[in-house]
A and B are shown apart, each in its own frame.
Chain A
C-alpha cells in the first residue's frame, strides 16, 4: 500500500525544491554579472557626435548608472520615457553607452525623443561592451563612488525597477540633486547637448 504513495512523496519534495528555485530565480534570470562587487571596467570611447573621447576615469568618486542602448532595439524605445524622467528627477547621472550603432541614427534618436544622458559614448564595434559582459540591450549598470559595479539590470527600465534596485541602493548623499551636476563635468554635458542640437539643425 505504502509504495503507491512513494511517487507522490518524491513529487512533493521536488515541488519544494522548485518553489525555492523560483523564489531565487529573479536574481538568476538577470544572469548574475561576473562584475557585481568588482571594479567597473575602464573605457575610453568617442563621445557620440563629437570629435573627442571620454574616459570612464572621469566618473571616479561619483555614483552613476551606465545605460546600454541602441536605436535598433525596440525595448530601448520603451524605456526611453523612463530614462527621461530619471534625468529630470536628477537622482543619478545616466551615462549613455550607445552600442553597435550608427552615429547619425543615434543622434537623430536623441534629437527626436530627448536626451536623458549626461554623456553618450559610442561603442561602434562593441569591443568595450565585451568587457562589461553586455549580451543584449537595454542593460543598465549601477556603479558606486568607488567604481564598483553594484547592480545590473537587463531589460527595459521601469519605475518599479528603478526604485527597488537602483534608488534603494544609493546612499542618501548621492541622491541629492547637487551631486548630479557635479558628477560629470559640465563641459562634457554641454558638449553633448550642443552636438545633438547641432545635428538637428
Chain B
C-alpha cells in the first residue's frame, strides 16, 4: 500500500513538473502573468510529491517490505538500519529517485531565493528545471520503477552489495548528486538568459552562488568516494581513473572553470558566451556521466545493473536537453558580445588561461574515457586506457595551471599589472623553494623528478593565497566572505598538491607473507602479525588479524584488518586496518590465505595522505563561505 502510494505520488510529481515547465516557459513568452504565477506553486507541489515518493521507498526499506522487488534485491532483514536507509540509493532505481528528489529540492530553493529576480526570468529558470525534472521522472517511471512488486514475495532480501555497506559510501551518492544536479541551476540560468537574449553582470551575480555551492557538493562527493576506495577496496589506492570516477571529475573541472569565468563576467562583463558554454557543458557532462554509468556502454566496477533500453532513453533525453541548449547557444550566443578589453597581465587574462587549461584537462580525460568506446564503435577492437595515459596527460595542463594561479592571485582586474606586485610574487616563490628544499632534503628520502616541482607549486600557492587577505587585514580594510573563501579554497588546493606529491613520492608498500608470530619490514616500520581470530558482525562473519606495528623499535599501534564474508551476497570484503596520524597513515590489509598458516598481508606507509581529502573538504568550505557573501543576498521583493 505504502509502495503504491509512493508510485502514485511520483506520477503526480511528473504532472506537476509538466505544469512547472509549461507555465514557466510559455507564461513569459505570451506575457500572461497569471500563467507565470502557476510556476512557483507547481514547483512546491513537485517537491512535496517527490518527497512523499522517496519517503515511501525509505519506509519500504526500513520496514523490510520484501514484496517490493527493489527492496528484495538490495536489502536484508539483518542489514543495520543506517544501511537499510542508504540502500535506497544502493542501486539504479532508487538512485534515480534520489536524483529527482535532489533536483526538486534545488528547484524549490531557486524558487524561494528568486524573489529579487525579474518575474519572467525566474519563471523561465524554473521552467527549464522543470524540463529536466520531466526527463528524470519519466525515466524513473518508464524504465526504472522502484516500487514494482515481486510476485511471489521472498522471505528475505538479497542484501545490499557489501561494497556499499560503509558510512562514507552511504553519504557519497547524495553529495555527488547534490553537486551534479546543482549544476542544472547554472544550466537553467544560462538557457533562460539565452532565451531572453540578455546577459549582464547582474545575471552573473545571480548565477555565481548557485554554481559555487553545487561545485562544493561535487567536491565533497568526489572526496568521499576516493576516501572510501582507499580504506575499503583493500589496496590503498585513492584514485583509479575509472570511467565513473572520470564522469564525476569532468563536470568538476568544467564547474571550476565556470566559477572563474563567472567571476570575470560579474566583475567585468566579459567572457559572456564562453560562460554560457561552460554552464551548458558542466551540466551536460553530469548528464553524460549518468548516461555512462547507467547505460552499460562503458564497463566499469560501478555499473552494477546496466540496461541498454535505459541507455536509449537517456540518450534521447541527452539529445533533447543538451542538443536543445547547444542549438539555442549557436543561435543566441553571437548576440551576446563582450565589448571591454583587458591587458595581458590583468586578472582577466590569468582567468582566461585558467579556463583554457581546465578545459584542456577535462578534454584529455574525456578523450581517455571515451577512447575505448570510439575504438569499439569504429570496429578497431577493444582498448583499455589506464594510469599510463591519464597521469601524464593530466599533469600537462595542471602543472602550468598551478603556477599561473600562484602568480594570478596577485593580479588585479583590467589594467592591474603583475609587475606592480613583483615583490610579493618573488618572496612567496623564494619561501616556497626554501620549504621545498627542506622537505626534499631534510624530512623524507628518495625524491623523484616531479617531487620538488609539486612541493614548490603547492607551497607557493598556499603562500600566494594568503598574501592578499593578510595585506588587507594589516591595512584594516574589510575582509569579505568572498575574499576569505577564495583564499581558503586556493590555499586548500596548495595543501592538496603538497599532500598528493608526498603520497605519490614517499609511499612505501610491501606485500608480506606472514604466519602468526612473524614480522615483516616496510622502511622503518615493522609489521608483526600477532593473532588471527574469527569475529561476527550483524550480517557477516570475519577473520580479524592483529598486527602490531613498531617504528624503529618504538610502538606505533595495534591494527585490526578484517576479511569479511557477507552471508547473503557471499562476498568477501577487506576492511583495512589504518593508524591515522597527522603526518602519515600506517595501513595494513589482509590478503589471501597462502596455505601453511601464512597469509598475504599488504603493508603500506603513506605520508600526508589524509590531507588529500582534508584539503578537498576545506576547498568546498571555502566555496560555501564565498557563496555566503552579502552581495549575493539581496532582499526578496515583497
Residues of A within 8 A of B (CB): 1, 4-5, 7-8, 11-12, 14-22, 24-26, 28-29, 31, 70, 72-75, 77, 100, 126
With A15-B318, A17-B374 as contacts: A7 and B308 at CB distance below 8 Å:
no
Question: Do B297 and A21 touch (CB < 8 A)?
Answer: yes
Beta-carbon nearest neighbor of B315 in chain A? A18
Number of cross-chain contacts by CB at 8 Å? 89
Give complex CA distance A38, B370 in Å.
30
What 3 A-B pairs are tightest by C-beta distance, nearest first? A20-B377, A8-B326, A29-B296
Give complex CA distance A72, B156 in Å.
9
Which bucket holds chain B's interface residue count? 35 or more
Question: Do A22 and B315 touch (CB < 8 A)?
Answer: yes
Give the Cβ gap from B477 to chain A, nearest Cβ, in Å: 41
Residue numbers in A under 8 Å from B370 (CB-CB): 14, 17
- Quick one: which of A8, A17, A25, A70 contacts B296, CB cutoff 8 A? A25
Give the Cβ gap from A165 to chain B, nearest Cβ, in Å: 15
Greatest chain A CB density within 10 A among B297, B333, B377 is at B297
Question: Do B312 and A24 touch (CB < 8 A)?
Answer: no
Question: Do B308 and A74 touch (CB < 8 A)?
Answer: no
Give complex CA distance A187, B358 in Å.
70
- Quick one: which of B297, B311, B568 contacts A72, CB cutoff 8 A? B568
Give the Cβ gap from A34 to chain B, nearest Cβ, in Å: 12
With A8-B329, A28-B296, A74-B73 as contacts: A1 and B334 at CB distance below 8 Å:
yes
Give the Cβ gap from B65 to chain A, nearest Cβ, in Å: 14
Give complex CA distance A1, B329 in Å.
11
Question: Do A31 and B277 touch (CB < 8 A)?
Answer: no
Give the Cβ gap from B78 to chain A, nearest Cβ, in Å: 12
Q: Which of B171-214 contact A (CB under 8 A)?
A: none
- A to B CB contacts below 8 Å, 27 in the list: A4-B329, A4-B330, A7-B280, A7-B281, A8-B330, A11-B323, A11-B326, A15-B319, A17-B370, A18-B291, A18-B373, A21-B295, A21-B376, A21-B377, A22-B295, A22-B308, A22-B315, A24-B376, A25-B296, A25-B297, A25-B306, A25-B308, A26-B308, A29-B296, A29-B299, A29-B307, A100-B570
Q: Which of B61-83 contact A (CB under 8 A)?
A: 72-73
Question: Do B326 and A22 touch (CB < 8 A)?
Answer: no
Given A18-B315, A28-B296, A74-B150, 19 other A-B residues pairs in contact with their CB atoms under 8 A: A5-B330, A7-B280, A7-B281, A7-B329, A8-B326, A8-B327, A8-B330, A17-B370, A17-B373, A18-B373, A21-B297, A22-B311, A25-B308, A26-B308, A28-B297, A74-B154, A74-B157, A100-B570, A126-B570
Give the Cβ gap from B311 to chain A, nearest Cβ, in Å: 4
Q: Does B322 contact A (CB under 8 A)?
A: yes
Give complex CA distance A52, B322 in Å.
62
Give complex CA distance A28, B382 in Å.
11
SS class of chain A's interface: helix, strand, loop or mixed? helix
Give the Cβ gap from B632 to chain A, nearest Cβ, in Å: 28
Give complex CA distance A25, B303 in Å.
12
Give the Cβ gap from B514 to chain A, nearest Cβ, in Å: 24
Beta-carbon nearest neighbor of B567 in chain A? A72
Residue numbers in A under 8 Å from B113 (CB-CB): none
Give complex CA distance A11, B568 in Å.
44
Residue numbers in A under 8 Å from B323 (CB-CB): 8, 11-12, 15
Give complex CA distance A161, B277 in Å.
44
With A17-B374, A25-B297, A25-B308 as contacts: A74 and B329 at CB distance below 8 Å:
no
Q: Which of B317-361 contact A (CB under 8 A)?
A: 318-319, 322-323, 326-327, 329-330, 333-334
Give the Cβ gap from A185 to chain B, nearest Cβ, in Å: 31
Beta-carbon nearest neighbor of A1 in chain B? B334
Question: Do A7 and B373 touch (CB < 8 A)?
Answer: no
Give the Cβ gap from A60 to chain B, nearest Cβ, in Å: 30
Residue numbers in A under 8 Å from B157 (CB-CB): 74
Give the Cβ gap from A10 to chain B, nearest Cβ, in Å: 9
Q: Does B140 contact A (CB under 8 A)?
A: no
Question: Do A25 and B295 touch (CB < 8 A)?
Answer: yes
B265-305 contact mask (Cβ, 8 Å, vs A): 1 or 0? 00000000100010011001000000100011111000100
Give the Cβ gap from A106 to chain B, nearest Cβ, in Å: 14
Give complex CA distance A72, B277 in Å.
51
Residue numbers in B under 8 Å from A20 (CB-CB): 376-377
Give the Cβ gap from A71 to chain B, nearest Cβ, in Å: 11
Give the Cβ gap from B154 to chain A, nearest Cβ, in Å: 5
Q: Does B508 contact A (CB under 8 A)?
A: no
Question: Do A29 and B308 touch (CB < 8 A)?
Answer: yes
Give complex CA distance A17, B514 in Å.
50
Residue numbers in B under 8 Å from A24 (CB-CB): 376-377
Beta-carbon nearest neighbor of B328 in chain A? A8
Question: Do B306 and A29 touch (CB < 8 A)?
Answer: yes
Give complex CA distance A25, B294 in Å.
11
Give complex CA distance A29, B158 in Å.
21
Give the Cβ gap from A70 to chain B, nearest Cβ, in Å: 8
B415-446 contact mask (Cβ, 8 Å, vs A): 1 or 0? 00000000000000000000000000000000
Residue numbers in A under 8 Å from B306 (CB-CB): 25, 29
Give the Cβ gap from B66 to chain A, nearest Cβ, in Å: 8
Give complex CA distance A121, B322 in Å.
52
Give the Cβ gap from B301 to chain A, nearest Cβ, in Å: 11
